[in-house]
Structure 1
């Protein structure tokens, strides 16, 4: 049934959307006033003081955006309820994240997951490569870095509680997104289920297909005035939440893993500015990629996201699994396995984008590796291939694996063994005896940005001498004096601008230990009370049982 009249947005809908933006602006200003955004911990990890329910809401909201309202509902319209099984698998991922990965990340005292690989294996090339790859995935797929949300939790119990809440919420997309997408296909067959390139081009402007308009079409055509505005505001809220999570995680990776390595003397103020500017660059790159996205996977956004993720994610999962569970896994095996997986994934993605997906009824000119091997099957094959390469190389080069002392707090089996002087202490230095085959010294940076160190064979030397430090102190004093000598209006405008950007305060003074997310690491950081641990465990078990039941029921 096609719509007989053109849908419009009423005045009351515009008012509702305007009220939503006013509320968002008010909450943003309130958050700016109460939170500490002037240091690295406050901006990138929200002070590492988030309780369980905001963590859970953020985990779920990071997954609900354009990829859900547009892509997931569109795939439901195109292929039916089967995509729900793919979505429900995410609840098991959330449980594994909180119960397996997060405890190790907490005891290692890292801010980003690429930083964990550097502390686990030593050297720098793994961290740089993973940082670069995560940024590429963010641009191509808007993939959320969920670990960033979890390690910002107040403690391990709150991280588990957040994952439990997000896992319960993973049941909602089946009823709120997939089924409405299927309904839209039935109601608006000529538009949502257009059969030819010409009709699709006329219906939505995309000759590859129009299933992505299934959910917005349903909202705009059927909902009454007022409620239509509420639903559009909800879609905007979901999109903004997922984007802010992605942009924050991406700017953290770029700033702490890449920029801080290029400029080891960078102050906190510089790191904050770089993180914000990178968000603007990321927005531009994401917009520029839209035409490629529209032509891929028959115009289905959800399939596009999953396919590109499947080309690059299996090596990342394998390297973290082996790093956490196998103490004999070394840097050489990790690096060459990642390189093999990256090369294989790039070849597959290049062929996919180069040939495209033929329209329904057209001959398929693609080679058999594309036409006969589904991207999900390719993902499994790539996972096995990368694992074999990593294990083989690690066994051949086993002599370079870290010792028990080096791995304290960095694996599942040694997470309770962190003590003074081990590799996971609060300084964040690399462990001695583990290198990447490069004799060059490794630069590491304290998360506070207050001091830069040069590490060479396990010995640290301050790169700022007494004269340089004295010069820096005088420079800051002169800067403050210059600020005080400015006219009143100019000084007020400068103060307002620095406050708005979260740059107020000293740019070189070290952060207090309470603000440093690395300040508390080791066994104490993952201890839980018996009662709340049991509550979290029982809920995780209940979620797993419900997930298996829903899988079986709809199968």
Structure 2
């Protein structure tokens, strides 16, 4: 059959699309306003404002976890990675499902039993104020410089790509919308996230349907099943979950590391030691929190269908001559982050408005969640501890709101100044976020893990993991500049990377393996320091833990086994 000529699709929205988006905006804003005023106590009670204490149901917790997690980094960044490397990038989503089960069984009971509401509070209660304050500052910098900034920039690429609006104008709009939602507090965020997830899943499935159907049509067939079958045959190299060493994407996902190495550190730190995520469950009782987290695990299994398959479809369509200009950046370089927006422009009028709303929902929900966590940590763990220990509840809420506005302003400035440099020019935005978050993840996870389950762990050991973990991450990142790591390539622990500035190839440690090395060194260092200090008579205060805390009910156990069974099947099929 004769190859169809590519069609030029213009990035623009019609009146019907704006009407659909306006309906979405009114629903979210109206529902949020109603939730905000249903309990006046939210306006003055800091715990209710930041945590929605006792107010969120299991389905609201699960939906909020996913809405806050799935954002521009997935829709844009992960779809771009799907375009470049294929289904393997879905390991972040599918391994997260298994990780959520572990967090629900082992982590959440410890937090709730010890009445822990913020991550710095855990560090202060388990170790000391110095460790807590250092980590509070670390988290604030990470959330603003990496998370808020990257989501704003990648989100603006998406919104600009589908609407035709100026990217800088889109950044400002997203920031303002997010602030409005965030200032309503955790309760508003939690319940509006349920609506956000509905639009997110609906819009995502529509984009996947259109993409698969178009792949089928390009080969003279019809239907999404035929489209998927054609994807697996025409892009077979994009359906490998475990990369071999000769794969050009091995440095991003180094072989079995995704099953037994650094991927666990990434996920366990993100889902179990992250204020932004755990905050959703810390205001609930154990049964409700576990049910919500299990619900989120099931939703996680679905996410690659929404965010990865469209990227692979865009790759196949690009090979057939489509998106030749739409996916170029301002310098004429192929920008994989534009794969998803290019697909959305294929949607018919009206449906494009739904997809536009879905993208906005994902971005705003994630921005609002991170901004709320920033306000929580700054207010309860920095301002209330270091500046005003006797602040009233009303003042704490107001300080939190001010922190939200300032942090969003800083993120906007950073995205305008350095967003394109860090995530443009053909770079994978999702990989940028994962790598730079990984500079602090190993030390944090080591500190939390030993703090949970080894009562003898001392404050100085935790301080070593806090500061030492970051220093070690920087050291391993810069090491290839000064030492030849070619000898590690035989074990799969290094690979060739082109330094464009020096025009030289050097061997670098894959960042997931780097995280694994740093984690092991941190744990070893913590054990040595703790043993030494225990021998000198230092006996730190451990957390309240008993075995009964980790017992699960029958319904949770059945659901957890089902999630694990599905994961085994997926990895068996796509190994």
TM-score by length of 1: 0.71
Q: Distance in 2 between matches of 1:537 and 1:188?
A: 44
Q: Which residue of 19, 30, 45 corresponds with 2:23?
A: 19
Secondary structure of the residue aligned to 2:53 is: helix
Residues 412-465 of structure 1: CA deviation (Å, up to 9, x unaligned): 4x477xxxxxxxxxxxxxxxxxxxxxxxxxxxxxxxxxxxxxxxxxxxxxxxxx
Of 56-65 and 40-49, more deviation after overlay is shown by 40-49
> In structure 2, do the counterparts of structure 1 residues 208 and 301 end up closer, same or farther at CA, with 3 Å as the change threshold?
farther
- Pairing of 1:35-434 with structure 2 (within 5 A): 35=39, 36-37=41-42, 38-121=44-127, 123-142=128-147, 145-153=276-284, 155-188=285-318, 203-205=328-330, 209-220=334-345, 222-262=346-386, 263-290=388-415, 291-296=417-422, 298-347=426-475, 365=503, 368=506, 371-398=507-534, 399=536, 401-402=538-539, 406-407=541-542, 410=543, 412=545, 414=546
Q: Is the 8 A contact 2:294 2:556 kept in 1?
A: yes
> In structure 2, do the counterparts of structure 1 residues 342 and 367 end up closer, same or farther at CA, with 3 Å as the change threshold?
farther
Q: Distance in 2 between matches of 1:206 and 1:94?
A: 41
> In structure 2, do the counterparts of structure 1 residues 552 and 137 end up closer, same or farther at CA, with 3 Å as the change threshold?
farther
Secondary structure of the residue aligned to 2:439 is: helix
Secondary structure of the residue aligned to 2:95 is: helix
The alignment of Structure 1 onto Structure 2 pairs a total of residues equal to 425
Secondary structure of the residue aligned to 1:296 is: helix
Q: Is the 8 A contact 1:138 1:246 kept in 2?
A: yes
Report the Cα offset of residue 351 of structure 1.
8.7
Select the structure with the greater relative contact order (CA < 8 A; seq sep ≥ 6): 2
Report the Cα offset of residue 191 of structure 1.
9.4
Q: Which has the larger radius of gyration?
A: 1
Which residue in 2 is equivalent to 1:536? 556
Of 110-119 and 160-169, more deviation after overlay is shown by 110-119
Runs of 5+ in structure 2 lacking a partner? 148-269, 482-495
More helix by share: 2
Runs of 5+ in structure 1 lacking a partner? 417-525
TM-score by length of 2: 0.69
Report the Cα offset of residue 346 of structure 1.
3.9
Residues 273-295 of structure 1: CA deviation (Å, up to 9, x unaligned): 11001111111222233253433
Report the Cα offset of residue 156 of structure 1.
0.4
Report the Cα offset of residue 326 of structure 1.
0.9
